[in-house]
Amino acid sequence: MGATRFSMEADRPGRFRFRTDEKEMERRWKATREAMKRQEIDCLVLWGDNQIFGGVQKYLTDLQVPVYPHGFLFSQEGISIVGHGDWGGAACGDYLCCRDVIDNISVPFLPSIHYTDRYPAEEFCKIIRRHGWKRVGFVAMNILPAGVYKYMTESLTGVSFVDATDMMDQIKAVKSPYELEQCEKAVRLHEDILAAVPSILRVGRTEREVSLALRHLADDMYCSDFMVLTGAHPVTPGGNLYLYQNNTIQRGDYVYILVELAAPGGLWAELGRTYSMGEPSQAMEKAWKDAVKLENDLAAMCVPGAKPGDIFLAGNRWLNEHGYAQEGHFYAHGQGYDIVDRPVFCEEETMTLKENMYFSMHPRCKNKDAAAICVDNFVVTKEGGRRLSHIPQELICIDY
């Protein structure tokens, strides 16, 4: 094999600091393989090309993919990697964090180059034929490239295909003791970032300047990915994405800041608070107190056996009764290696809550006079949702 730019052999283990514990990986593999046996699935097809969505491949491989795409087959035998790289080379192994690998293949596939659409699928088909697998499960169909799906389903005769996404969602949603420990660490990191806000947030700065400063801190703290939403408004603040933060903060504004970080190792959390650039109005103080009350009351309903859809409807009833706009999206959702994961607190969700599920809660109290959102992470317990963040749920006044 010739020299390649993307090579596990050329990587040095010391370059990657945040491997998942070996026993934890073995626990995930065991749970997944047992579920595959029950559903008579020979291999799972996984895909990753970013660190915000597609976390199931990280869950099973411990590989944090770069922006260049990587595909995987997960089976009883091990993990097959097909990633972007040279013909005849090896896929980037993220500095040897990936384990249990039986195939490590690179092909010059790029999603922008249509004639390469079949390249990873061809390699998948070769591996499936070699092992004689007859039942293939696709995971996260909205993430898998259509070209890969089309080629595989048209080329593999005598093979049946199933959607195994819900099977994996059920496994991932309940966190192990190791994962809960990592989630706690992720929340602590968010608290450290948000603690810097009073020293950064100033009248005359743009939302973007505040966001950049917080993003820089996150980068310094080894976060693998991050989103910082900021939004300043004299009445109803809301979070804006990075490209829409060219707004100068004025005295009298309220500034909503939401920090969403994938901590070292890749687990997501989020933490959000509202800041008052001067003394807050009575309407804002009331909206904030109501938002905190609603968040905590809804979290208290999060016990094993509860239905996220019922909790969602209860929140909307409360908002309507108290003169606030109802939520048309969702105001709570699971997290893990995806920034938003199941269970999602909406009417369509079919999961019921189980002990040690990990989720973010962020209901909004908005009317014509004010808007307030308090964002925290919780864990489902028999006593209700346990808040992981320790910082006060307070409207913070910055008047200097």
Strands 101-107 vs 79-84: parallel, antiparallel or unpaired: parallel
Closest CA to 47 of 79, 72, 28, 67: 72
Give tens-digit pLDDT for 324-344.
Answer: 999 998 999 999 999 999 999
Q: Which residues of the chain have pLDDT under 70?
A: 1-17, 92-97
| 177-397 fold | Creatine Amidinohydrolase (3.90.230)
Q: Could you tell me the CA-to-CA distances from 149 to 40, 76, 142 in Å, in that order?
A: 20, 22, 11
Tokens of 368: 């014509």
DSSP 8-state code for residue 358: E
- Give a three-class secondary structure readout of 156-204: CCCCEEEECHHHHHHHHHECCHHHHHHHHHHHHHHHHHHCCHHHHCCCC
* Mean pLDDT estimate for the chain: 92
Ranges for all domains in the chain classified under CATH 3.90.230.10: 177-397
**For position 357, what pLDDT does the model report?**
99
Q: Any residues with CB less than 8 A from the CB of 75 and at least 6 apart, and which?
A: 42, 43, 44, 131, 133
User: CA–CA separation, 293 vs 303, rounded Å?
Assistant: 18
**For position 68, what pLDDT does the model report?**
84
- Prior bond of 343 cis (ω within 30°): yes
Give tens-digit pLDDT for 168-182.
Answer: 999 999 999 999 999
**For position 12, what pLDDT does the model report?**
52
Q: Backbone dihedral region of 4: left (phi > 0), alpha (psi from -120 to 50 degrees) or beta?
A: beta
**For position 89, what pLDDT does the model report?**
80
**For position 16, what pLDDT does the model report?**
61
| CB atoms inside a 10 Å sphere around CB 235 | 16
Tokens of 323: 């003169």
User: CA–CA separation, 30 vs 400, rounded Å?
Assistant: 56
Q: Could you tell me the CA-to-CA distances from 266 to 23, 151, 161, 233, 384 in Å, in that order?
A: 17, 31, 30, 33, 26
**For position 92, what pLDDT does the model report?**
62
| 13-172 fold | Creatine Amidinohydrolase; Chain A, domain 1 (3.40.350)
User: Which amino acid is it at 157?
Assistant: T
Q: What pTM did the predictor assign? A: 0.92
User: CA–CA separation, 259 vs 375, rounded Å?
Assistant: 9
User: CA–CA separation, 391 vs 332, rounded Å?
Assistant: 19
